[in-house]
Structure 1
């Protein structure tokens, strides 16, 4: 399987549709420990679960890091930035990873993974990869001379941040959520008291509980929130703008978009967007909803999908923090932002009662305790403060996020 090039990195811009990029800071307040990746496979340093920082490869240079995969466990890698990535066997001879296929066109984002053998989610895997535990993360620089690259951004410069987690073998995977549990649901709009400020930092999202929040969205900037979703629960979110009662009519036409990500930063909703007309104050709504959080969703096929697309369904498999990214931009490509702020309402609903999580199995076949809830995702079980210092710890997978220092871009195009 080929290297997959990335056009941008997580942080500087989320671009849903046309318009100017939206920016967000991504540098944590404390610098993660540095690790020097190798240019030789034989002495690739071991990446333990947690956050690391390293130098980005350039040109045709390849950088290597070793990852230990639990026997018959899963590994996923999400990368944001103009670098190529794959997960291979230790000798580099077999590419073990597959790509996530998205319902909406996405440039500048890749999500590769290695599942256990006989996985429905990963329908093909080379024989050498099926039971391999010693794997190699390969990062390669991207430049204009790379004819195989689909990257549309400049090569990554400065340090990369890498966060790593792994998932052990499940004792029982179970079945996907039935279609009647995947029907679209909408978070209701309710009256709000006061004003809420949403973070523009993807690694420090604002923590929200179910309810409605009056916010001011800034065109050209991200608004980032996180919501706790347990096993068996569904997330629904909607954004209303211009907020009814604000009597605000934007001086230019705008695109309003919202997208949701799992604790692994895998897309889980397909995204939604709406068009706001120039000098019109009529409230419009963008909505998303997920399938129930169910480890069996990773076994879903096309025929199992309901209103939630099959690709999004297969990644609603881990309880923890789910992320909402809202973005407003001028609807005309290249148009200058003339709207200072857009009054809006963010609505959050978590449907269903939380249930117990799955059981895990150790390499020798004995029962293995699940990691504690505060290691399931970024920021702990119920914490409401900054998420800095703990990046995307997900029981469900290995997640690697490479973030070009300073600002980076994730380009999402709305559905055709």
Structure 2
């Protein structure tokens, strides 16, 4: 009875949403003004916690969880970790300044993990770079246990420190902050300690398939899943979009971004488009940018090595970060300065994604990753590279249905009838 009541409520909600969409669209002309840049999409499961200026009151962050906090202008903020003596711990910090914030190339954030004696386990700094356009930026620090050193090697209390770097002014305000914690268990047998062999660094041939429309998500949690293929999206100045690409053990990822011509020439916009790649713990591995003067332009990431456990012993971020299979992220940002030279847009961006290599099973771990879904073996890629949802008749089906309803151009009455019909059929299948 409860399921049937919930089902009918869902029917009514969908019908109302469709009716509102159709009514609103009835009087809207075909040429619609470009929307404002979409703000960062924080994880809906994020727990809000305070960042404090002392370790004494630091809030505990649990493994496999996501948190929302705030980063002051000129004060370091602390959080607490309770770690065992065998797992690798990773903490990512994504800073989200206001869309109209004035930032310079050297402005950014630094995140560190320290032990109880203030000794640094690791630290990473990420800056906005040459484009100087306010956007979400992410830095990741870690604790790697090691039998060869006593610092940061044992179980106990550790602290996460997040701070702003660069210059600040009296007009600056606090930035929003998303924190995500990850835990990698030890291997069942002794881990390899040798550096990886040099892999083929040649850029693969670009894909020439027809582009398929796929708009990106607004954050890591809402990143839209894509596989190998050519994907097209319309992006407005100041907007950042996120894509998730499953990459298995032994596979490697390569991507190119293209910004279409605008039909008019103008002075050069430096850093008009930024493309970056992040690994499953959100660590930035590589980035590329392009300058734009109205003519079509493209930029490519350097070829990444195949995913392998021993990559962690490499000597660059882009090698070290390819240390586990799972969800990798492609992040595209269109500089806010584009609006000053070429208008509000949107502008067509084409993303060419290639995943090649022979997928393997990976090493045997003595335990589970936290959270498990980020590191799970990549699922089979379905039609047009979309990773299918697991199970039938679940939330994934409902989301897909709402997407079809939202983007369809069918008349209001026809859409409502079609939606009710689909829900009725789904209800009968569930009831049986």
TM-score strictly above 0.5: yes
Q: Is 1:205–2:229 an aligned residue pair?
A: no
Aligned to 2:374: 376
Tell me the distance in 2 between the aligned counterparts of 1:331 and 1:384. Answer: 37
Indicate if the aligned counterparts of 1:58 and 1:140 stay in contact, CA closer than 8 A. no
Tell me the distance in 1 between the aligned counterparts of 2:68 and 2:195. Answer: 38
Aligned to 2:64: 50
Tell me the distance in 2 between the aligned counterparts of 1:358 and 1:139. Answer: 32
Q: Is 1:89–2:118 an aligned residue pair?
A: no
Aligned to 2:84: 70
Tell me the distance in 2 between the aligned counterparts of 1:42 and 1:248. Answer: 55
Q: Offset of 1:101 from its aligned partner?
A: 7.1
Aligned to 2:197: 178
The superposition leaves residues 161-200 of structure 1 with CA deviations (integer Å, 9 ceiling, x where unpaired) of 4322212223343334322x24032462323265332234
- Give matches, 1:377-396, under 5 Å: 377=375, 384=388
Tell me the distance in 1 between the aligned counterparts of 2:183 and 2:195. Answer: 21
Tell me the distance in 2 between the aligned counterparts of 1:274 and 1:182. Answer: 25
1 or 2, which has the higher helix percentage?
2
- Give matches, 1:253-292, under 5 Å: 253-254=268-269, 255-269=272-286, 271-278=287-294, 280=295, 282=296, 284-292=298-306
Unaligned runs of 5+ in 2: 1-35, 96-107, 381-386, 390-394, 396-432
SS of equivalent residue, structure 1 residue 355: coil
Q: Offset of 1:239 from its aligned partner?
A: 1.7
Tell me the distance in 2 between the aligned counterparts of 1:104 and 1:183. Answer: 27
For residues 172 and 236 of structure 1, do their structure 2 counterparts lie closer, same or farther at Cα, with a shift above 3 Å needed?
farther
Q: 2:345 aligns with which of 329, 337, 340?
A: 340
For residues 249 and 210 of structure 1, do their structure 2 counterparts lie closer, same or farther at Cα, with a shift above 3 Å needed?
same
Aligned to 1:318: 324
Tell me the distance in 2 between the aligned counterparts of 1:59 and 1:341. Answer: 32
**Equivalent residues, number:** 326
SS of equivalent residue, structure 2 residue 284: coil
The superposition leaves residues 4-61 of structure 1 with CA deviations (integer Å, 9 ceiling, x where unpaired) of xxxxxxxxxxxxxxxxxx9542344735334567776467554222334455365777
The alignment yields a C-alpha RMSD, in angstroms, of: 4.0
Aligned to 1:249: 263
For residues 134 and 339 of structure 1, do their structure 2 counterparts lie closer, same or farther at Cα, with a shift above 3 Å needed?
same
SS of equivalent residue, structure 2 residue 317: helix
Tell me the distance in 1 between the aligned counterparts of 2:290 and 2:75. Answer: 42
- Identify the range of structure 1 (165-174 vs 225-234) with the bigger mean alpha-carbon deviation: 165-174
Unaligned runs of 5+ in 1: 1-21, 120-124, 143-148, 302-309, 361-367, 390-416
Q: What is the TM-score when the length of structure 2 is the normalising length?
A: 0.62
Aligned to 1:116: 145
Q: What is the TM-score when the length of structure 1 is the normalising length?
A: 0.64
Tell me the distance in 1 between the aligned counterparts of 2:62 and 2:285. Answer: 26
Tell me the distance in 1 between the aligned counterparts of 2:301 and 2:333. Answer: 13
Q: Offset of 1:96 from its aligned partner?
A: 3.0
Tell me the distance in 2 between the aligned counterparts of 1:103 and 1:173. Answer: 33
